[in-house]
Structure 1
């Protein structure tokens, strides 16, 4: 698995957006096709916002073996869309997307494509919300794709194609929410993580991933090893950062979120959720509402 070092992606095919959910196929910087879904912000009366809405868009990054159409992801969309437009997508190797999963490495290109699509639709503010593997991806994305105004650098726009026209838009996040993410790579301290490593690293495990979980996994090792979540944290500021973790998480114990928060050196909020398990499957509606309120108020 080759690591990502540059915060750029190539192009996407963008359809016209209607008042209901709309699907498209994005193209990551390395050419992998990524399925994506746009849900407009829904007013109290159930009427969606128009295409040119300049408000906030939340981009949701699912966990390993998830997809844009999994029930837990759609449940998050239903809550988030009451406060903002929402873009969901399937990481490479998942759902209807092409390619193979690199378990958090090149997936940062998939997220960048989704963020740039949100901006191409007129959203001036984009918040990324990632769960588990997606939680690690939003942290790396926040470190690699920075706001050119905030960091004092020149504009680093990327092309997004719609029909026969092409526009250049930024692919950075204005705020980042990481839920149930690991702090470091290669963690095997819990039984679920040992099983996950077997799925990812063994031929028999990858067959289980493909036919049991519908996830196509790259057989190559990372080369080089990508920036770890804890190393990415200090590079995200000044973008606001929220770290959410359950105290009953069976995959990553509480030293992971605490390590991430410590790396932020006071620049991140940490929510340790009592009784919560792991990732999007364990995020109940009250928590999702609080996350949405945080995302739309920062």
Structure 2
């Protein structure tokens, strides 16, 4: 497995983001966005990065409050700025096509980033919630305990090293299904497992139905949830879908213009 080159990025609100870049000679770069309490340095994410790396460059990042990144997790709100810093890093390295690839919380974040910020060429959202505050499964009730209770936040910090912002959302950010229609004309692939113990397949359907064409929905019969359940075959298939999708769209008419207040160090 290739060791990525380390990157240190800074978001427009001044948060330091730990990331890694695996170079590729082609024009495509995948931005790899992990789920809640994960890190790009974990074996499951490294395996996914290696599979994506057979199809393009990869920039994998730790969201704020996770791993070696600074700040505190806002569980899907301000993390769009973390993705934006990674997109800027990809453009600076000369990649003409940027594909956002997110899992669970990361899947919700890449949908929101593409809808609110644009500037990407395709989006792959895997095992993502379509709406907020879902508590109808035991795993999600545990997640809400970890986020909303002081004891839960302390437990997650000790067990997983994830630092969660103690204050809740104010205002509540738009949910993925509320903004998915704005992603077009960039193509969107929604992937959801029929055996997902966190979010039932209705979340995948809701996200897909809220989006505009070009879009595609894969309901994977034996697939569970997010990074841990993702097989090499699934990752290769979604990477092949993304590279085909971006090759069918016109090339960008102008190079990426980085926001004037976007601080970087990589």
Do they fold alike, i.e. is TM over 0.5? yes
How far apart are the structure 1 equivalents of 2:77 and 2:83? 11
Report the CA distance between 1:258 and its aligned residue: 0.6
**1:99 alignment partner, SS class:** coil
Runs of at least 5 residues in structure 1 that lack an aligned partner in the other structure:
1-18, 42-48, 147-171
| 1:66-85 superposed matches below 5 A | 66-85=38-57
2:223 aligned partner: 276
Runs of at least 5 residues in structure 2 that lack an aligned partner in the other structure:
246-266
Conserved 8 A contact 1:20-1:40: no
| TM-score normalised by length of structure 2 | 0.90
Report the CA distance between 1:145 and its aligned residue: 1.2
Report the CA distance between 1:265 and its aligned residue: 4.5
Conserved 8 A contact 1:61-1:130: yes
| 1:19-34 superposed matches below 5 A | 21-34=4-17
1:40 aligned partner: 23
Give the number of equivalent residue pairs.
244
Does 1:134 pair with 2:106? yes
Conserved 8 A contact 2:20-2:61: yes
How far apart are the structure 1 equivalents of 2:9 and 2:139? 32
2:210 aligned partner: 263
Report the CA distance between 1:266 and its aligned residue: 4.6
Q: Deviations over 1:108-157 (max 9, x none)?
A: 000000011000000011000000000000000011112xxxxxxxxxxx
Detail structure 1 runs of 4+ shifted over 4 Å in the superposition. none
Residue number among 115, 124, 131 corresponding to 1:184 in the alignment: 131
Report the CA distance between 1:20 and its aligned residue: 5.9
Report the CA distance between 1:256 and its aligned residue: 0.5
More helix by share: 2
Report the CA distance between 1:21 and its aligned residue: 2.2
Over the residues paired in the alignment, what is the CA RMSD in angstroms? Answer: 1.1
Does 1:297 pair with 2:265? no
